[in-house]
Structure 1
């Protein structure tokens, strides 16, 4: 078996492409993942993704692109699913400072903000309803971790029938191998794996087309 076996069986042959309007989800860039004082915080790939997502969101908000931002937090362990991660059980609490969304990628006056209770930002939240109202058909996934909540959010985005883009350098994980493996697998089946530069170019094209249609 080799990677060519997937290719020979037609995996990844058809690109997702882009539609009429983009929306962005920002998954779990909470201080628990971005502040190194916390047990799960400060992984290099996550910090790279945070910096690149900040650049992406600056352009997106300027152009009026809908943004949904989230953290993961619970009242107590009784409310939680059966997490196998001690740090999640001990710190992902509403009253814990690590639950706050990192201010570098958060605009509470602009973003739809949800607190999710499961890996996917779409599961039992209002994000899909928000995107329906905004007529979004293309979802850009950012955040962490690639092998967990990014994967789950990508599959739910696909399941909601959105065209789904995942910029590789706007998502991150604890280790590089799971990051690469999961993006490769998502790219074979459900999403287009892109990068920050290509995603910014897409937003520029979309904004230019929107501006042209408004002035026609």
Structure 2
């Protein structure tokens, strides 16, 4: 019997999370340090795929009025940091370093709630839970990078805050494919529904139709 079968036999993943009344989207760490290949952590193919798909989702979501929370990770100095084991984070994720700027391809500073997080989760120590409470969000779509780190942490915090949580596989990315797949598998067994861009888009559009009676705008 495979490990997957054994988890299934013990009822892991049997109950889908589903969708609730209103979506909100979190965009985790699509900062230049991860999306620009000139930086040590930048330009991983799965991350770039995720950013391109997230941009498509965000275009529709903003046109429909869906709340969006966007973040980067940055510190004043090493003294403020947690005990990161990644040299590139310690050396470049500083407020005065260009790598911490959020990539403009997925960022609308006039629309998005923007937070600077200090740990792996976009929810930890930020205003995102209060923002979503005000907006009456009950279903969170998690996008960003990296799947095995900040996406995993943000997804578990979303679950812990009692949100229905959706993670579109093609809107999150990692340095390597195996950790990406492994972490999505494990999240999907316990805490979230692992979906795709098309599923997330249809949820957003269906919510917009319920709210307005009109079809969502079609992106150019």
Shift in Å at residue 201 of structure 1?
1.0
Q: Secondary structure at the match of 1:78?
A: helix
Q: Name stretches of at least 5 consecutive residues in structure 1 with no aligned partner.
A: none
Aligned to 1:153: 154
Instruction: Tell me, in whole angstroms, the C-alpha distance in 1 between the residues paired with 2:203 and 2:94.
Output: 37
Shift in Å at residue 146 of structure 1?
0.1
**TM (normalized to structure 2)?**
0.96
Deviations 1:56-111 (A, max 9, x none): 00000000000000000000001000000000000000000000000000000000
Deviations 1:157-205 (A, max 9, x none): 0000000000000000000000000000000000000000111111111
Does 2:107 correspond to 1:126?
A: no
Deviations 1:126-150 (A, max 9, x none): 0000000000000000000000000
Aligned to 1:106: 107
The root-mean-square deviation of aligned C-alpha atoms, in Å, is 0.9
Instruction: Tell me, in whole angstroms, the C-alpha distance in 1 between the residues paired with 2:110 and 2:44.
Output: 28
Q: Name stretches of at least 5 consecutive residues in structure 2 with no aligned partner.
A: 215-220
Does 2:26 correspond to 1:4?
A: no
Shift in Å at residue 125 of structure 1?
0.2
Aligned to 1:136: 137
Deviations 1:3-55 (A, max 9, x none): 10000000000000000100000000000000000000000000000000000
Shift in Å at residue 211 of structure 1?
1.2
Aligned to 2:23: 22
Does 2:148 correspond to 1:164?
A: no
Shift in Å at residue 212 of structure 1?
2.9
Instruction: Tell me, in whole angstroms, the C-alpha distance in 2 between the residues paired with 1:25 and 1:62.
Output: 16
Aligned to 1:69: 70
Q: Secondary structure at the match of 1:54?
A: helix
Aligned to 1:192: 193
**TM (normalized to structure 1)?**
0.98
Q: Secondary structure at the match of 2:166?
A: strand
Aligned to 1:207: 208
Instruction: Tell me, in whole angstroms, the C-alpha distance in 1 between the residues paired with 2:30 and 2:109.
Output: 14
Does 2:47 correspond to 1:58?
A: no
Aligned to 1:96: 97
Q: Secondary structure at the match of 2:79?
A: coil
Aligned to 2:35: 34
Report the number of matched residues: 213
Instruction: Tell me, in whole angstroms, the C-alpha distance in 1 between the residues paired with 2:196 and 2:101.
Output: 27
Instruction: Tell me, in whole angstroms, the C-alpha distance in 2 between the residues paired with 1:183 and 1:145.
Output: 11
Q: Secondary structure at the match of 1:74?
A: coil
Aligned to 1:13: 14
